[in-house]
Amino acid sequence: MNINKVKNIISESGLKFTHQRMVIYKSIVDAENHPTAEHVFDSIKTQNPSISLGTVYKTLDTFVNAGLIQKFVDNKGVMRFDAILEAHSHIYCRKTNEISDYQNKALELMLKDFFEKHKIEDFEIDEISIVIKGQKVQ
């Protein structure tokens, strides 16, 4: 993702564009494994030694609150981050602790149809996310 696109995304969310925010956001977008704050920090610290782990945590929380990324907790209680905001589910491997995206339009449609027919009283659903847990079979 190029710098101008990252700048537009950050600015359009209402946040001030800074070099630190750009580097951290780009790290999340480029990651393939739903990184932790520590993984983000490790991936950027060599090229950006002035960015602290505390700055990474604070910036990730700012991004979550601005709706730029999603945060979720894995089975071990560790916060993980995802830049894909469209409806999708996750596959979680208990053995490797890997999390990968799982998108299936038929599943999303089935869930949407189900909850249109079986509404939850006094509750409006914004999104539905499923985590499929298991382990890779080799």
Q: What is the pLDDT, as a whole number, of residue 72? A: 84
Question: Which residues are part of a known binding site for Zn(2+)?
Answer: 93
What is the C-alpha to C-alpha distance for residues 48 and 112, in angstroms, rounded to an integer? 43
pLDDT at 110: 92
Identify the pLDDT of residue 2.
Answer: 82
pLDDT for residue 74? 78
CATH topology of domain 3-82: Arc Repressor Mutant, subunit A (1.10.10)
Q: How far apart are the first and last CA of the chain?
A: 33
pLDDT averaged per 10 residues in sequence order, the chain, 138 residues: 87 94 95 92 96 97 94 85 85 87 89 92 85 88
**In the chain, domain spans:** 3-82, 89-134
Phi (first) and psi of residue 92, to 5 degrees: -115, 120
**pTM strictly above 0.95:** no
**Annotation: binding site for Fe cation:** 108
> Of the candidates 63, 77, 57, 73, which has an alpha carbon nearest to the alpha carbon of residue 29?
63
Query: Which residues line the annotated binding site?
Result: 93, 108
Note the pLDDT of residue 61.
Answer: 96
CATH topology of domain 89-134: Dna Ligase; domain 1 (3.30.1490)
